[in-house]
Amino acid sequence: MIAKVSIDRRSSSIANVYDYNVPEELVDAIDVGASVFVPFGYDQVFGYVIELRGDTKPDLKDIIDVVSEANLIGEVNFKLANELSSDLDCSMANVLSMMQPSFIKGQKQQYLYIEDYNLLDANLALALNGKSKVLITNALLPFKKQIQNEIKNGNITKGYDYFVYGKNKKVKVYSVIDDSTQSTKARDLVVRYLIDHPASSMDDIRVATNVSSNIVKTLVNLKVLKVEEVLIKNNEKQEFKNKSRYEFSFSEKELVDYYGEVSQKPFLFFSSNDDFRLHFYIKLIDDSIKLGKKVVLIYPNALNVEEGSIKLKRYFKGIDIVTFHSRNTDSENYDTFQKLIDNSFDVLIGTPNVVLLPFNNVSDIVLNDVDDEMYINETYPYINYKEAAIKKAKLLEAKIILESKTPIVSDYYNASIGKYYILNNHSISSNHVSIVDMNKELLETNDLVISSDLRTKMDIALSNHKISMLICNNVAFATQIKCRKCGKVLKCPDCKVPLVYVKSKDSARCPYCNYEEKMFRSCKCGSTNYISFGFGLEQVEEKLKNMYPNAKIIRADSAYLNSKEKMSNLLQAIEEGNVDFIIGTNALVKIGNSENIDLVGLLYVDSFLNANNYSGSEATYNLIAKVTSFKNIVIQTYNPTHYSITNAINNNYDDYYELELQNRKLLDYPPFKELSIIFIKGDYQEMYHFAYYFKKAISHSNDCVVLGPTYDYVHKGVKLVVKYEKYDYTIKIFNDAVKHFNSSKVMATFHRYTRGG
């Protein structure tokens, strides 16, 4: 037998599919979709079987080993991978590799765990030699069918050396050691619940008390609670029950009925009512389960996944709601993964990458906050999870919902021209929003960081023991350092961008490459007199400490927010009210609303407007509109009349959309043309040489516009922005240019889906 194998290689200009012989001992273990190790040159590489045919040939090399079975990909995902490889101009293997979680690709040793030898096939029992744990090797290949039958019958479980999936598993349960009154309301609520309900799981506690897992873990660390693992038998499922008593209004029922009646296109779900959104999903799940189907809910980050899971568990009994995200352990994600393969779940909730997991029998796929940048994967092969989900829903014959409180302009346009259905439950709101014109503020107070209006509201929040959250997208103390004498701005020698001033280290640092100058006090003109401009979180923190010396302040920069432990500490501080001021980047918006946060201040909302990006207005609108759910908002801006700001404060999306669409049409930006980016790395002169070579090659196309080349300091290479109507034609010209340019000194990559231009 010959296997056609797609090799997991990055380059699309070099062949990625090769034929290999399948050794006789692997014939029964291999199938289309299986991952394999194959010889490639002087190396051994990873690949996927995309076709099996004919007899072996003596001139072909043999497959070395089968790494994982085809069912870990599944028939639907195999078809999806074929579509995406064309969509992204990459090999099938590049996409198939993304469909396998890290614990599968990690090539950990697999084991069989034998439950009861008395129930096994006699020949298989003899081969397993009485061991309770057996390493899976090629020696067991002749018994593959018997092993699969025993796994199906529950006599054997299969797993890796660090987790097992089977009929029985352990779960952590919590009980009270110290029943004294606790220091915070949230902690005391947990203790009182566990006194009445000892040996409860984390989910039981969270569903009943509405506290985070961090509170429970803190109580364990303080020896207030004890935790133990108990073996849970897979008992019969509880009777299915939906406890929702929500009554849809007339207009809401119209949308619900409309969703039930049509099914040919994606739905854009645009609602400003959180309760309606939740209970719409509850009804959707209820209807699906009664039809024997599954539902997939996707959120942009792990925190939202956990929150969404707990909300649903409050309303449903007798269904299996599983999650898949980075905050889970490998064992928990593996457990979910196996349930997807076995089709033994009811609702899957996860982050965008779950689109690529092997689920089937699904009636509805819901992408929440689909405007979030996390739906674009910025590592090769640059998948757009929204587009992948739309393709997969079609393959599954499932409905798909694209939900957003602030829809992407392109999505709203698709709804307006009939490409999407629209479920519009949005309404203009009147919020407690103050816009501060910083041009006037500077003249009156000479304070570019905290306006007088913001200061007054911060004082009120502090006196009421509430939290103020201040957002600024710059991290350093100042964003520019300038010589007073000659006016020269201090720049990075490599990136040629202004260095920022980090006061805590008394150094000048590059925001892109982290180049640092600790001794920058002497300019080439001879002056030692420098002045800094702009501000960032470091300066905001210093100012707050001077204004409120006794206040509790948390500074959450990007490093802080990317730390699971620190992020958990921040959420717990908010939940328990153990912080007065939180200062951080725009990512703070994603932590969600809380009754303890009274005030949100956007210190420099113009950061997106001033960025070199066509979607700057969209990002500005979305940021402001998302924070308007908080009680009080202060927006500091030098552009107080900009349409993205004036419309966002009232969630007036329609007026904003009309103005934004006019600008996009005038400049040929999405949705009127597709926009992609070409990054070119390598020898400095050759990078520009290739850029102009491509521009010349595509110059005779009337529908294609190329902007650049410009040097991109983040990617350390040259960038071209390409606006076009025909993707197939554009990518062909690009690949031809790469092939004919034929230089080993440059590497060019085409990013079809990007987070802006």
Note the pLDDT of residue 11. 59
Q: Specify which residues 323 forms β-bridges with.
A: 349
Whether residue 271 contacts residue 423, with contact meaning beta carbons closer than 8 Å, is answered with yes
Please report the pLDDT score of residue 714 as a whole number.
77
Tens digit of each residue's pLDDT (9 = 90 or more) over 616-642 = 999 999 999 989 888 899 999 999 999
Encoded tokens for 220: 């364990």
Contact call for residues 450 and 459 (beta carbons, < 8 A): no
Position 562 confidence tier, pLDDT thresholds 50, 70, 90:
confident
Return the percentage of the chain with pLDDT > 90, whole number: 57
In the prediction, which pLDDT does 527 show? 86
Give residue-wise pLDDT tens across range 311-331.
Answer: 999 999 999 999 999 888 887
Which has more pLDDT, 657 or 26?
A: 657
Q: Say if residues 362 and 292 touch (Cβ distance below 8 Å).
A: no
Whether residue 515 contacts residue 509, with contact meaning beta carbons closer than 8 Å, is answered with yes
- CA 744 – CA 322 distance, rounded (Å): 48
Query: Is pLDDT of 423 > 70?
Result: yes
Sole residue written with tokens 């709601």: 321
Residue 73 has phi, psi (to 5 degrees) of -100, -55
Residue 165 has pLDDT above 70, yes or no: no
Per residue in 571-583, pLDDT (tens digit) is: 899 999 999 999 9
Q: If pLDDT is split at 50, 70 and 90, which confidence band does 399 have? A: very high
Residue type, 179: D
Q: What angle do CA 631, 637, 643 make, to 5 degrees?
A: 85
pLDDT of 370 reads 96
Q: What is the pTM of this model?
A: 0.87
User: 39-84 pLDDT, tens per residue?
Assistant: 888 777 888 999 999 888 989 999 988 877 777 888 999 999 999 9
- pLDDT of 67 reads 79
Say whether pLDDT at 38 is over 80: yes
Nearest to 628 by CA among 596, 593, 655: 593
Assign 121 a pLDDT band (cuts: 50, 70, 90): confident
Q: How far apart are the first and last CA of the chain?
A: 48
Q: Please report where in the chains the tokens 């296997």 appear, as a residue.
A: 3
pLDDT band at 105 (very low <50, low <70, confident <90, very high): low
Strands of the sheet containing 2-7, edge to edge, are: 17-21, 2-7, 43-53, 35-40, 65-68
Residue 569 confidence (pLDDT) above 90: no
Is the distance from CB of 338 to CB of 330 less than 8 angstroms? no
Report the C-alpha gap between 369 and 300 in whole angstroms: 7
What is the token pair recorded at 576? Answer: 């328990």
C-beta separation of 644 from 660 below 8 A = yes
Closest CA to 37 of 169, 170, 138: 138
Name every residue whose Cβ is closer than 8 Å to that of residue 654 and which is 6 or more positions away in sequence.
none
What is the chain's mean pLDDT, rounded?
89
What pLDDT shows up at residue 756?
64
What pLDDT score was predicted for residue 162?
Answer: 44
* Percent helix / strand / coil, the chain, rounded to 5: 40, 25, 35
Mean pLDDT of 271-298: 95
For residues 366 and 403, is the Cβ–Cβ distance under 8 A?
Answer: yes
Which of 301-305, 565-569, 733-737 has the weakest average pLDDT? 565-569
Say whether the peptide bond before residue 352 is cis (omega within 30 degrees of 0).
no
CA 621-625-631 angle, to 5 degrees, is: 145
Q: Where are the beta strands (DSSP E) in 299-432?
A: 316-317, 321-324, 347-350, 362-367, 399-403, 421-425
Beta strands 65-68; 433-437: pairing state: unpaired
Q: 632-637 and 597-602 as β-strands: parallel, antiparallel, unpaired?
A: parallel
Burial (Cβ within 10 Å: 0-12, 13-18, ≥19) of residue 525: exposed
Per-residue model confidence as pLDDT tens digits over 465-523: 999 999 998 878 888 888 888 888 888 887 777 888 888 788 888 877 778 887 677 78
- Counting every residue written for the chain, the total comes to 757
pLDDT at position 202: 92
Query: What confidence score (pLDDT) does residue 132 get?
Result: 82
Is 661:413 a contact under the CB 8 Å cutoff? yes
DSSP string, 125-155: HHHHTT-SEEE--GGGGGGHHHHHHHHHHTS
Average pLDDT over residues 94-108: 77
Residues paired with residue 530 on neighbouring β-strands, in sequence order: 483
> CB of 500 within 8 A of CB of 483?
no
Measured distance CA(275)–CA(271) in Å, rounded: 10
What ranges make up the beta strands (E) of 34-155?
A: 35-40, 43-53, 65-68, 110-114, 133-135
Each residue of 77-97: b (16+ CB within 10 Å) or e? bbebbebbbebbbbbbbbbbb
CA nearest 413: which of 757, 671, 723, 673? 671
Max intra-chain CA distance, the chain? 91
Among 116-130, 385-399, 470-484, 565-579, top mean pLDDT goes to 385-399
Q: Please tell me the distance from the alpha carbon of residue 357 to that of residue 72, in angstroms, as a whole number.
A: 9
Per-residue pLDDT tens over the stretch 236-263: 667 889 999 999 999 999 999 999 999 9
Question: What is the per-residue pLDDT for 160?
Answer: 57
8 A C-beta contact, residue 306 and residue 297: no
| β-bridge pairing 467-471 and 597-602 | parallel
pLDDT over threshold 80, residue 144? no
Q: What is the pLDDT of residue 286?
A: 97
CA 458 to mean position of chain CA atoms: 33
Instruction: Report the SS3 class of residue 575.
Output: helix
Residue 524: exposure state from Cβ atoms within 10 A (0-12, 13-18, ≥19): exposed
Residue 645 is inside which H or E element, if any?
A: helix 643-648
Q: What is the pLDDT of residue 235?
A: 56
| Per-residue pLDDT tens over the stretch 210-243 | 898 889 999 999 999 999 988 766 556 678 899 9
Give the pLDDT of residue 169.
Answer: 66
Note the pLDDT tens digit of each residue in 716-751. Answer: 899 999 999 999 999 999 999 999 998 889 999 999
Q: What is the DSSP letter of 239?
A: P
